[in-house]
Structure 1
Amino acid sequence: MFATDPVTGNNTAADFARLALELHNLDGVEETVEAVVEFALQALSCSYAGLALWASRSAPEIAAVTDPVVADIYEVQLGSGEGPLITSLESRTTVLVPDTLSEERWPGWAAKVAALGVRSVLDVPLISSVPGTGPVGVLGLYSPEPDAFGPDDEAVAHILARHAMVAVGTARHQANLTQAVDARKLVGQAMGILMERFDISPDQAFAVLRRYSQDTNTKLRDVAAELIDTRRLPR
């Protein structure tokens, strides 16, 4: 599927250019992350791949995996709060585990992962280009073979991570724009209901929605949606 250099065997820039174009044409974050991990299987010496995204300040979330074993590996780390994924997120650095059977940094995690049949792990952070912001997430690569990832694999993984960071950022931005447009539509409909029912101005109708939003600690769009669905404001 992907052209390779006849001497080094590495993926060419054309492959990544094609990936960038494919990611640009995808709709939504879910489709984007799925494309990234599937590309990783083709471009790198890995049997499984996964992508964890930092969705909030609390904890990363599993965004895409090529095999259930990757979800198991992530769950072990998210539950314990330690492992190469957590370290890669917190330190913003690439973390390589050459062999889980001899890994000493996270012995509990390593034993569980080795029992799943995974020997090599490479976690690469998706670093945002916006100054002062943390990592977007981590691209995880896994192999049943020890010492599966060499310098060339790390280099390609870094390139893929940069493409993934841009693609995920763009997809999230588009999703936020869509949500904002939807919210404005909902608020506009709710204002229309209030204006007709109580014979008030647009400014007064918006003030009513905002007051209910503040008093009930509910998002403005949710207040509007409830009014549209029930024809009643939240209690």
Structure 2
Amino acid sequence: MDDVFGGQLADAVRELDAQADPPHTLERLVQITPEFFSACDHVGISLVERDQIRTPVATDERLRQLDEKQYELGQGPCRDAIREHEVVVVHDLATDPRWPAWGRAMVAELGIRSSVSFRLFTRPDRTWGALNVYSTQPGSFGDEDVSQGRTIAAMAAVVLARSINDEQLTRALETRTVIGQAIGMVMERYDLDADRAFDVLRRLSSQENIKLRDLAAELVATRDIPSGRTPAVD
């Protein structure tokens, strides 16, 4: 790793780690990725969510849509980078026979001719998605691009995983807090202990077909249980 690339990488890690949440982390990753490639006209990021793949962010809205088209068609380098290979290089989408329908759309609509996709993963059994880099020129990505791209993708995966895990932890703690507040309200209102108050909330959640955390948030916000929804207390 040369000093210039090492310095760029260190700066990128700090910038990504400073972002407030996963959406901002992804947006910043799209913005800084072109700095690491001599020929990069577009960037898209694919994410795996509940066994589904989507592209939440890209440099161009039409690119984002075409990225997602891969998942409908079941073909494309981003999908293959996630499902089959850690790195997928395309030298010319106009002639590559692997994904004819998707490749033709990329050439015709955006003038994209070559690409390289890197799997974003922190361990072999945990794939977050793929970092996809595109160029309007054929043959834009060589061995050095692949080597440096692997490093960038590894760094990005670690920062993204931390961002997602931090956000999930924050949400879990917030949920736990608001449910605890709602339990306290029910305990005071109906003179119940904590276990029976929690049972009341669960029963009301089931009756109203509302998630427990949403019901708790509503009770805490309104400071009241609306008439007609008073739970049976036994």
TM-score (norm 2): 0.87
Q: Cα gap change, 1:111/1:11 in structure 2, threshold over 3 Å: closer, same or farther?
A: farther
Q: CA deviation at 1:79?
A: 2.3
| 2:101 paired with 1:108 | yes
1:69-218 mapped onto 2 (5 Å cutoff): 69-116=62-109, 117-129=111-123, 133-213=125-205, 218=210
Letter in 1 for 2:40: C
Question: What secondary structure, in the 3-state scheme, does the structure 2 residue paired with 1:46 have?
Answer: coil
| 2:5 paired with 1:12 | yes
Question: What secondary structure, in the 3-state scheme, does the structure 2 residue paired with 1:26 have?
Answer: coil
Letter in 1 for 2:178: L
Question: What secondary structure, in the 3-state scheme, does the structure 2 residue paired with 1:12 have?
Answer: helix
Q: CA deviation at 1:149?
A: 0.6
How far apart, CA to CA, are the structure 1 residues paired with 2:79 and 2:210? Answer: 32
How far apart, CA to CA, are the structure 2 residues paired with 1:158 and 1:216? Answer: 49
Q: Which runs of 4+ in 1 moved over 6 A?
A: none
Aligned counterpart in structure 2 of residue 27 of structure 1, from 20, 26, 38: 20
- Please tell me whether the aligned partners of residues 56 and 64 of structure 2 are also in contact (alpha carbons under 8 angstroms): no
| 2:29 paired with 1:50 | no
Letter in 2 for 1:55: E
Q: CA deviation at 1:97?
A: 1.1
Q: CA deviation at 1:223?
A: 2.6
How far apart, CA to CA, are the structure 2 residues paired with 1:163 and 1:103? Answer: 30
- Please tell me whether the aligned partners of residues 116 and 133 of structure 2 are also in contact (alpha carbons under 8 angstroms): yes
Q: Which moved more, 1:184-193 or 1:100-109?
A: 184-193
In structure 2, the gaps of 5 or more residues are none
In structure 1, the gaps of 5 or more residues are none
How far apart, CA to CA, are the structure 2 residues paired with 1:53 and 1:234? Answer: 42
Q: Which moved more, 1:61-70 or 1:33-42?
A: 61-70
- Please tell me whether the aligned partners of residues 33 and 164 of structure 1 are also in contact (alpha carbons under 8 angstroms): no
Identity %: 31
Letter in 2 for 1:231: I
- Please tell me whether the aligned partners of residues 113 and 135 of structure 2 are also in contact (alpha carbons under 8 angstroms): yes
Letter in 2 for 1:118: I
- Please tell me whether the aligned partners of residues 54 and 68 of structure 2 are also in contact (alpha carbons under 8 angstroms): no
Letter in 1 for 2:54: E
Q: CA deviation at 1:234?
A: 9.1
Q: CA deviation at 1:216?
A: 6.1
- Please tell me whether the aligned partners of residues 92 and 135 of structure 1 are also in contact (alpha carbons under 8 angstroms): no
